[in-house]
A and B are shown apart, each in its own frame.
Chain A
Amino acid sequence: MGNEFDNKCGFMSDPVSYLYGEMPAEERTAFEDHLSGCDECTDEFAAISFSRLSVMEWQRGEFAHLPTPEIVIPYEAARSNSWIGSIRGMFALPGFGPAMAAAVVLLIVGGMYFGFYSGAGKEQPVAVSAPKQNVAEPIVNSVEPRPIAPAAEPEPAPVTISQEGSPERSPRPVRAKITQRAQKVNRPLTADLDEKAKPAVPVQKAPVLSNFDDDEDNSLRLADLIEDGGV
């Protein structure tokens, strides 16, 4: 039994059963005989008797006189709101708390795992494709509006995109391209030069440096002022 006294006298007893009157008569007599001669067991028994008496006092003083509350089951409401009731009832069911805690932990761990790996995977394409945007967009946009382009037509365009694989595109003059680029974005020419320097690098993704739409940017730029002023 797990509830024997912490006795050093060696007498195996069941004081709780004795205390609550659930000990068989023959064991009861033996226990009483032992108590009369063992101070240690008597002290232990007195301790648990004192606690029991205290709880009994509390029970009698505060609970025994209380009427049983009238419990009303809203049968119809319980049925009509059965889905809400089921959810509420789940919270009251044993084991719901640990199950929810486990689910939350799994979600967090899973979220961290996917967040980490998908985040790491996204960074690489940005680095590779960044130069491509610098080269590709201005060429398409520079076809129509610039009258300067024909003047420089005979010259080969060292900055044209070779990676695009579109042979029907006519080569662009450097001047036209630089002007156009200066007007559109504040991109350094080094991007083009870099591109030239590394022609063999296969670029597979469209560059996404920002969501800024170049075509709608009509603001005045320092490069335009310098050009118009002839400085």
Chain B
Amino acid sequence: MHSSEPDEKLVELAKAGDQAAFSEILRRWERKIFALCFGMLGREDEASDAAQETFIAAYRNLKNFRGEARVSSWLHRIAVNQCLTIKRRQKSRAEDLIDEDDGMQDKFFVASPLSSPGRTAEKVERMKLVRQAVRALPADLHQVIVMKEFEEMTFQEISETLEIPLSTVKSRLYTALKQLKLRLERTPVEVV
């Protein structure tokens, strides 16, 4: 019904009480916001909660959206704030709890039926390291790399969403990838 309307128009309709309009916004952005949250948090359950909270917060604050920014920027900011809140909570937990989390996340890895157990274990270990390395990046670099890899956005889209110059997007991504390389080199994967 509202599928052809631009985001900004949908927000106006939702403000006027049109729930279907907000459902359309949700349908358009839920995968990307979930991807962003997953990339930021590294856990499916937490990403799912963060995505849910993002859309609820957006709905409750519809009246505060004045159309100065894009809907995508607005949603991304809310999502990033939700993720950062969750990350802060995680930081305050004990270190052993975080290790437990990582162990739990490993269960979700889908191994190829053709790969050997040794290779699968190596891959699982490797992903754990990548996840930790990405999470350890500064927030602005972390966000850009997640938007690129998980949301599969173009540089232009990231630039518009974050409201930063295109060159800054590329620069951040380049820095993020270089820092990631250094972090991954410091902790080489032991092949089982």
* A17–B30 touching, CB < 8 Å: no
Alpha-carbon separation in the docked complex, A84 to B117 (Å):
51
Given A89-B57, A94-B81, the answer on whether A55 and B134 have CB atoms closer than 8 Å is: yes
Which of B48, B126, B173, B177 has the most chain A CB within a 10 Å cutoff? B177
Closest beta carbon of chain A to B141's beta carbon, Å: 11
**A48 contact set on B, CB distance < 8 A:** 174, 177-178, 181
Given A3-B173, A62-B105, the answer on whether A22 and B155 have CB atoms closer than 8 Å is: yes
Please provide the chain A residues from 47 to 91 with a CB less than 8 Å away from any CB of chain B in the complex: 47-48, 50-52, 54-59, 61-63, 65-66, 68-69, 71-75, 78, 82, 85-86, 88-89, 91
Alpha-carbon separation in the docked complex, A14 to B173 (Å):
11
Q: Contact string, B99-127, partner A, CB cutoff 8 A, digits 1/0?
A: 00000010011100000000000010011
Report the nearest B residue to A14, measured CB to CB: B170
Given A92-B81, A92-B82, the answer on whether A78 and B149 have CB atoms closer than 8 Å is: no
- Majority DSSP secondary structure for residues of B touching A: helix
Chain A residues with a Cβ closer than 8 Å to the other chain, count = 43
Closest beta carbon of chain A to B154's beta carbon, Å: 6
A121 contacts the other chain (CB 8 A): no
Report the nearest B residue to A97, measured CB to CB: B81
* A69–B51 touching, CB < 8 Å: yes
B77 contacts the other chain (CB 8 A): yes
Given A65-B110, A68-B31, A73-B22, the answer on whether A92 and B57 have CB atoms closer than 8 Å is: yes
Given A3-B174, A55-B130, A91-B85, the answer on whether A20 and B180 have CB atoms closer than 8 Å is: no
B184 contacts the other chain (CB 8 A): yes
Alpha-carbon separation in the docked complex, A22 to B153 (Å):
11
Given A71-B52, A88-B57, A92-B81, the answer on whether A63 and B127 have CB atoms closer than 8 Å is: no
**A75 contact set on B, CB distance < 8 A:** 19, 22, 59
One of A16, A74, A91 near B173 (C-beta < 8 A): A16
Report the nearest A residue to B129, measured CB to CB: A54
* B26–A73 touching, CB < 8 Å: yes
Closest beta carbon of chain A to B13's beta carbon, Å: 14
Chain B residues with a Cβ closer than 8 Å to the other chain, count = 60
Closest beta carbon of chain B to A176's beta carbon, Å: 71
A15 contacts the other chain (CB 8 A): yes
* A86–B31 touching, CB < 8 Å: no
A1 contacts the other chain (CB 8 A): yes
Closest beta carbon of chain A to B124's beta carbon, Å: 8
One of B51, B81, B130, B150 near A71 (C-beta < 8 A): B51
B148 contacts the other chain (CB 8 A): yes
Report the nearest A residue to B111, measured CB to CB: A61
Report the nearest A residue to B23, measured CB to CB: A73
Closest beta carbon of chain B to A142's beta carbon, Å: 66
**B82 contact set on A, CB distance < 8 A:** 92
**A47 contact set on B, CB distance < 8 A:** 177-178, 181
Given contacts A2-B167, A47-B181, 18 further A-B contacts (CB under 8 A): A2-B170, A16-B173, A17-B155, A22-B154, A47-B178, A51-B178, A51-B180, A51-B184, A52-B149, A54-B126, A54-B180, A61-B109, A66-B108, A72-B52, A78-B59, A86-B61, A92-B53, A94-B78
In the assembled complex, 24 residue pairs joining A and B whose CB atoms fall closer than 8 Å, in A order, are A3-B171, A14-B170, A16-B173, A16-B174, A48-B174, A48-B178, A52-B177, A54-B133, A54-B184, A56-B149, A57-B127, A63-B35, A63-B39, A66-B38, A71-B52, A75-B19, A78-B59, A78-B60, A89-B60, A91-B81, A92-B57, A92-B78, A92-B81, A92-B82
Measuring CB to CB, which residues of chain B are less than 8 angstroms from any residue of chain A?
19, 22-23, 26, 30-31, 34-35, 38-39, 44, 47-48, 51-57, 59-61, 64, 77-78, 80-82, 85, 105, 108-110, 123, 126-127, 130-131, 133-134, 145, 148-150, 154-155, 167-168, 170-171, 173-178, 180-181, 184
